[in-house]
Amino acid sequence: MIVDERIVTFINSFETQNSEILEKIEKEALASHVPIIRKEMQSFLKMLLALKEPENILEVGTAVGFSALLMSECVPADCRITTIENYEKRIPLARENFRRAGKEDQIVLIEGDAAQVLKELNGSYDFIFMDAAKGQYIHYLPEVLRLLDKGGVLVSDNVMQGGEVIESRFAVERRNRTIHARMREYLYELKHTKELVTSILPLGDGVAVSVKNSGRTG
Ligand code: SAM
């Protein structure tokens, strides 16, 4: 945990309940150790969606569909949500959850490795939520930038790797050094890519929020 636990507990104590179906799916996911977005990230996403009012959302990393469903509840029914997942065990669970929530028409699940799927996508998206394999974000970035509209928002979750990303490379276990280097490179690119304006926030496990230049500035 990168933020003082008491502060997180205090902030979360103000949270209101999600819909009945979301509460159920969250409980089921947590009980079966499926990683889903934390409470802090849930409310942050809700706020960003209220601000942006997207029409076409892309999510990388569906798991069992919790965050896609949460997002679907924050946008009008004609906002399309495309979500990518490659873990066969989770795909049927996500599809079933979309059916349970009556959202099969709004949420499109694409099965496959995000690296490949992103290359093949041709749509344009005004909101992209990155929540898959952290070591791959840097490889997804060129395609994500191609797919993101001007003025579009890119939200990248878990960018602090439980705080490890701030440590020196030598303080990190050898097996984690590649992901450590790649995440630092990703954060550097988010901050130094001319097309993006990015803020890195210590929320949850760290989140980077980027906006693609609308062309109106600089
Ligand atoms: N966004 C989900 C939520 O909050 O409900 C949680 C996503 S979970 C943290 C990350 C998911 O990304 C996992 O289910 C994992 O199988 C998937 N994933 C990891 N690497 C992937 C890849 N290369 N292509 C597609 N999905 C991938």
73-113 pLDDT per residue, tens: 999 999 999 999 999 999 999 999 999 999 999 999 999 99
Q: Could you give the CA distance from residue 206 to residue 159 in angstroms, rounded to a whole number?
A: 5
The residue nearest atom 20 of ligand 1, judged by CA position, is 133
Atom nearest to 87 CA in ligand 1: 16
Q: What is the pLDDT of residue 8?
A: 94
For residue 157, give the ligand 1 atom closest to its CA. Answer: 9
pLDDT number for residue 182: 95
Q: How far apart are CA 213 and CA 218, in angstroms?
A: 9
215 has pLDDT over 80: no
Residues 6 or more apart from 2 whose CB is under 8 A from it? Answer: 160, 162, 163, 202, 205, 206
152 token code pair: 């579009």
* Best mutation site among 86, 97, 116, 157 for ligand 1 pocket (most ligand atoms within 8 Å of CB): 86
Q: What is the whole-number distance in angstroms between the Cα of residue 217 and the centre of ligand 1?
A: 34
Q: Does the structure show a pLDDT above 90 at 217?
A: no
State in Å: Cα 216 to ligand 1 middle.
Answer: 34
Regarding beta strands 207-212 and 196-201, do their DSSP bridges make them parallel or antiparallel, or are they unpaired? antiparallel
Per-residue pLDDT tens digits for 132-180: 999 999 999 999 999 999 999 999 999 998 888 998 998 988 888 999 9
Cα(47)–Cα(122) distance, rounded to whole angstroms? 27
Atom of ligand 1 nearest to the CA of 68: 5
| β-strand pairing of 148-157 with 196-201 | unpaired
Considering only CA atoms, give the Rg of the chain: 17
Burial bucket for residue 38 (CB in 10 Å: 0-12, 13-18, 19+) = middle
Predicted confidence band of residue 216 (pLDDT cuts 50, 70, 90): low
**What burial class does residue 10 get, using C-beta atoms within 10 Å of its C-beta: 0-12 exposed, 13-18 middle, 19+ buried?**
exposed
- 3 token code pair: 């933020």
Which pLDDT belongs to residue 100? 97
Residue 175's pLDDT is 87
Taking CA atoms only, the protein residue closest to ligand 1 atom 4 is: 36
- Residues in contact with ligand 1 by the CB-under-6-Å rule are 35-37, 61, 63, 66-67, 84-87, 90, 113-115, 131-133, 136
Counting from 1 in the atom list of ligand 1, the atom nearest the Cα of 70 is 5
